[in-house]
Amino acid sequence: MIASHRLALAATLATGTLLGVLTGSFASPAAAADLLPPPPPPPVQVEPVTIGSGWYLRGDFTQSWYDHPRDDAILDPNDPGMPPLVGLRLSSETGYGGGVGYQINPWLRVDATIDQRAASSFRGYSSRSVFETGYNLEAGKVDVLTGLVNVYADIGTWYGFTPYVGAGVGFADKRMSRNYTQTTCLIDGCDGSAGTGPRNAAFRANHSVMTFAWALTAGLSYDIGAGFSVDAAYRYIDLGRIRSGLDEFGGLTRVKDLTASEFRVGLRYRFADGLLASPVRNFGN
């Protein structure tokens, strides 16, 4: 009996020892793995960023129709009866311009433009006798250069057409040249000299004036591909005041509220691939 108990105890101890050895042999690799440092994270791939893909260039042809400005003469206390100019007119003229812009997002863009217009013929009349005995003509040339910073809202795009509205502010540089004033008598001696008809003209010096300018625009562009768009727009622009230099008698022409309605057509080219691309960087190497 004692011998059988001893044999059972020995078998139990042997079995436990064997299980412990087997368990330790299988657990050792897992425990060793737990002691190793974690693997490094995979490298972070940064997509290339294109800088400047919204930039564009533009060129425009302009047709300007000037509205009727108003006389801005300063009253002479020594000649209180001097009447204002009436019938002020400037001829419609063509022009050209260009600029650079940036598309901020799909519906908002800005640009800076310069536009030069051809010299317009200016004339206005005055008469102390309300054109009964004679009248005075003031005439010359006016050319206008404008520089504007504009903001546009692109309303949407349908079948390649994008209507938009915009506004701009900047400067208008206006030059009056070849100016003169001339009296015409309708009756004999209207100006104290014998005879009728036009008298000798008094020429006035050239003069330039730079003033604040602002504009409102509504237009339509069409994408023709390869980065090009055709652009057509109406623009109302306020150009401010103009004036001539003095003549030999100290007289000059002064005009205010010079505005124009303009039709513009041109091309825009957008840099689709950007002006500058940043390199790809791999982090973690």
Beta carbons of 73 and 58 less than 8 angstroms apart: no
How does residue 280 score in pLDDT terms, banded at 50, 70 and 90? very low
Beta carbons of 151 and 167 less than 8 angstroms apart: yes
Give the phi and the psi of residue 105 in degrees, each rounded to 5. -155, 180
Beta carbons of 54 and 268 less than 8 angstroms apart: no
**How many domains in the chain?**
1
143's tokens: 């050319």
Model pLDDT, residue 82 = 77
Beta carbons of 176 and 141 less than 8 angstroms apart: yes
Highest mean pLDDT among 28-32, 66-70, 212-216: 212-216
67's tokens: 């509205």
State the Cα–Cα distance between residues 2 and 220, nearest whole angstrom. Answer: 112
Residue 29 lies in a domain: no
- For the stretch 93-103, pLDDT in tens is 999 999 999 99
Model pLDDT, residue 39 = 74
Residue 213 lies in a domain: yes
Residue 191 lies in a domain: yes
When mean pLDDT is compared across 68-72, 81-85, 183-187, the lowest value belongs to 81-85
How does residue 138 score in pLDDT terms, banded at 50, 70 and 90? very high
Q: 3 pLDDT exceeds 60?
A: no
Q: 7 pLDDT exceeds 90?
A: no
Q: 137 pLDDT exceeds 90?
A: yes
The CATH number assigned to the domain holding 97 equals 2.40.160.20
Model pLDDT, residue 81 = 72
Compare 181 and 43 and report the one with higher pLDDT: 181
* Mean pLDDT for the chain overall: 84
Model pLDDT, residue 48 = 52
Q: 231 pLDDT exceeds 60?
A: yes
Radius of gyration over every alpha carbon of the chain, rounded to an integer in angstroms: 42
Residue 8 lies in a domain: no
Residue numbers of the domain that contains 98: 58-273
Residue 40 lies in a domain: no
How does residue 26 score in pLDDT terms, banded at 50, 70 and 90? very low
Residue 262 lies in a domain: yes
Model pLDDT, residue 74 = 82
Q: 13 pLDDT exceeds 70?
A: no
State the Cα–Cα distance between residues 174 and 135, nearest whole angstrom. Answer: 27
Helical spans, DSSP H, in the chain: 2-35
Residue 239 lies in a domain: yes
Q: 163 pLDDT exceeds 90?
A: yes
State the Cα–Cα distance between residues 2 and 114, nearest whole angstrom. Answer: 118
Across residues 121-148, what is the average pLDDT? 94
Residue 47 lies in a domain: no
Highest mean pLDDT among 2-16, 160-174, 248-262: 160-174
